[in-house]
Structure 1
């Protein structure tokens, strides 16, 4: 069986500590949902595959009268995870799956009111990310985060996710303001506004170099 990126995400969580299937799914949702979302069906299926490959183990435990299965990483699993972490990352840029952006892309086929609603929903969804950022940030600042010892690298992920949330919120606000101005603008003014965006962003390499 071939290992996938999901396999390594699960191995990484098992390397933190043993988990039941339910707790593992909760950890995946809490820790990596915003940048590596996976369907629960994938999360629930993967530990069994890892056990079959000898990369994880499964033990039955009794909780009262109920049995539960606890999954742990094996030494072979740790070795495989270490090997993967030492490999160069896949030679491709980050991919973004963002339904609202697809709706904006296809909005000329619909109504302006639909586009306005999509942008409004983006800002509502980003509020959830801001709430999560405040909660997680508070945990690390008070030393109460579940894996406080990983604060150095978790701060890098936190920096990216909060920056992404702020960028997305600002983009949705700008786009909504542009859309609201359309009824009062001529077609020529709308086109000039669009071209202004392309002129401002097209020389991204020069701007990044500070030329």
Structure 2
């Protein structure tokens, strides 16, 4: 687990710890492994969100485009830890306040998902419609899900709120610049939403 690192090749474009509008503004990253998921230490550059098992990294935010890219790590567990609440309250709410209405969640390092209530997904889904009408319709897209996680999310009806699967399996996302990835996903989402 400690060898799984957040993607860092876009730091020349964006760093959440330097962004005053980011929920992680001012954070300093040490070299010591302190956080763990089920007893396995994780890279200290993952950002804690108040969950015991789910961590994230805001790889890029563009307030003019109303979009951000967030990499996920660990286990998303709504059954035991209500991780959707932690993620929504401690990360998403701050981004919503600053006009972000388009979310790309990269889930290659999301190892498990355990569903529960959908209240926070529904709230997030409703709020992105109200955030920034000038930037077009808001959306939430998960890229590169593991099949068992997509199946579990679908079983709990999360796919009603978050777009996943199919053309959102973009394996070569690291070869793009962040604005290019946002443009590609935005185009895919506009097709899906019929906008």
| TM-score (normalised: structure 2) | 0.25
Of Structure 1 and Structure 2, the greater strand share is in: 2
Larger Rg: 1
Of Structure 1 and Structure 2, the greater helix share is in: 1
| TM-score (normalised: structure 1) | 0.23
